[in-house]
């Protein structure tokens, strides 16, 4: 095990341990019946209950059940290591060997319904699959990757990167906390790359203004997501999150101050972090407009890369 992998692993253990303790005294989670959740389609917010409030095994099975029910061809990638086990699912839409990878993890921390983290992102990608499949790009393949065990130090993504040939990847975006907010942040994006430039052109093309409607931010110290497994293998890979505009300054100081971030229960956490990894991360806190904004952004990025 490399030192970097050990770091990912320990971070995941710590984060899950803290959540387990913090959420231990809360009432058990509840979920809507799976067959009702499976019938939702057409927009992302009604799809959030597909995962919300379920165990990680149920969340994983729900993604596969959704794809099977709709006849969407997908590739299963099962992994088992001493750190844990799970199954990633990949769906390709479009043609050619140039690849855009969009990632959303399907697991959640113990005791949290996991609506914004990360059922919203899964719902966004499931919706986008359907929309993009109606007019698939001919010179770009978009890979929708639903990963397991992100909360265990990006384990699913690391296993995927280790097992999968990924030589024509233009870029990777990992969606996190995409259900609250009216602007978009692309993060861990400290270095200019052709992919980052294309992302910014796409967002600008949607009429979004830099530093107002969208933000590009550098490496964030404490938080991370699956893109880091791809970045560690040399690919341009960033996190993508919806952010409430009025909280932009508070968020900046929150995420760039690791000590304060670590003491999360002692400080006021700005939205969307006030529900992050807690029992309160439920779909009632999400805005349909945030999910729609992220779908529009991803659609524009795919079109720009094509």
Coil/strand/helix, residue 134 = helix
Count of residues that interact with Zn ion, criterion CB under 5 A: 3
Interface stretch with Zn ion, choices 168-176, 208-216, 264-272, 293-301 (CB under 5 A): 168-176
Interface stretch with Zn ion, choices 157-165, 172-180, 209-217, 286-294 (CB under 5 A): 172-180
Least distance from Zn ion to the Cβ atom of residue 62, Å: 17
d(CA 159, CA 170): 20
- 176 is an interface residue for Zn ion by CB under 5 A: yes
Binding mask 58-97 for Zn ion (x = CB under 5 A): ----------------------------------------
Interface stretch with Zn ion, choices 7-15, 50-58, 115-123, 215-223 (CB under 5 A): 115-123
Binding residue (CB under 5 A) for Zn ion from 117, 247, 281, 304: 117
CA 121, 264, 111, 284 torsion-angle sign: negative
Coil/strand/helix, residue 147 = strand
Q: Choose between 93 and 119: whose C-beta lies nearer to Zn ion.
A: 119
Q: Choose between 54 and 141: whose C-beta lies nearer to Zn ion.
A: 54
Q: Output the DSSP codes for 167-211.
A: -SEEEEEEE-S-SS-SEEEEES--S--HHHHHHHHHHHHTTPPBT
Least distance from Zn ion to the Cβ atom of residue 147, Å: 10
Residue pair 72/38 in contact (Cβ under 8 Å)? The answer is: no
Q: Choose between 52 and 176: whose C-beta lies nearer to Zn ion.
A: 176
Q: Choose between 83 and 176: whose C-beta lies nearer to Zn ion.
A: 176
Least distance from Zn ion to the Cβ atom of residue 105, Å: 6
Least distance from Zn ion to the Cβ atom of residue 236, Å: 20
Query: What are the distances in angstroms from CA 198 to CA 63, 290, 300, 306?
Result: 30, 22, 10, 10
The residues, ordered by sequence, that sit 6+ positions from 151 with a Cβ below 8 Å of its Cβ are: 12, 15, 16, 19, 105, 107, 108, 109
- 118 is an interface residue for Zn ion by CB under 5 A: yes
Interface stretch with Zn ion, choices 25-33, 111-119, 179-187, 232-240 (CB under 5 A): 111-119
Question: Which tokens sit at 14?
Answer: 């710590």
104: DSSP letter: E
Question: Which tokens sit at 221?
Answer: 């110290």
Which residues of the chain form contacts with Zn ion (CB under 5 A)? 117-118, 176
């Amino acid at each position: 095990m490399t030192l970097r992998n050990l770091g990912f692993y320990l971070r995941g253990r710590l984060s899950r341990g803290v959540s387990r303790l913090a959420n231990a005294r809360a009432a058990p989670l509840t979920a809507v019946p799976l067959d009702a959740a499976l019938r939702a389609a057409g927009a992302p917010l009604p799809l959030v209950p597909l995962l919300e409030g379920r165990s990680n095994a149920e969340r994983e099975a729900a993604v596969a059940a959704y794809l099977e029910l709709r006849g969407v061809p997908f590739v299963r990638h099962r992994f088992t290591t001493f750190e844990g086990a799970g199954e990633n699912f990949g769906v390709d839409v479009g043609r050619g060997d140039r690849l855009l990878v969009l990632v959303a993890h399907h697991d959640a921390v113990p005791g949290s319904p996991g609506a914004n983290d990360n059922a919203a992102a899964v719902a966004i990608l499931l919706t986008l699959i359907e929309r993009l499949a109606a007019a698939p790009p001919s010179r770009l393949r978009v890979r929708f990757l639903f990963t397991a065990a992100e909360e265990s130090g990006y384990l699913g993504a690391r296993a995927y990167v280790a097992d999968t040939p990924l030589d024509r990847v233009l870029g990777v975006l990992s969606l996190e906390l995409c259900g609250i907010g009216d602007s978009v942040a692309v993060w861990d994006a400290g270095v200019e790359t052709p992919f980052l430039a294309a992302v910014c052109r796409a967002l600008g093309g949607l009429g979004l203004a830099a530093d107002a409607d969208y933000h590009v931010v550098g490496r964030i110290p404490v938080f991370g997501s699956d893109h880091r497994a791809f970045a560690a293998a040399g690919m341009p890979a960033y996190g993508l999150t919806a952010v409430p505009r009025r909280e932009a300054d508070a968020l900046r100081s929150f995420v760039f101050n690791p000590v304060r971030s670590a003491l999360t229960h002692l400080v006021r956490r700005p939205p969307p972090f006030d529900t992050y990894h807690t029992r309160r991360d439920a779909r009632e806190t999400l805005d349909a407009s945030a999910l729609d904004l992220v779908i529009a952004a991803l659609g524009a990025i795919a079109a720009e890369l094509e």
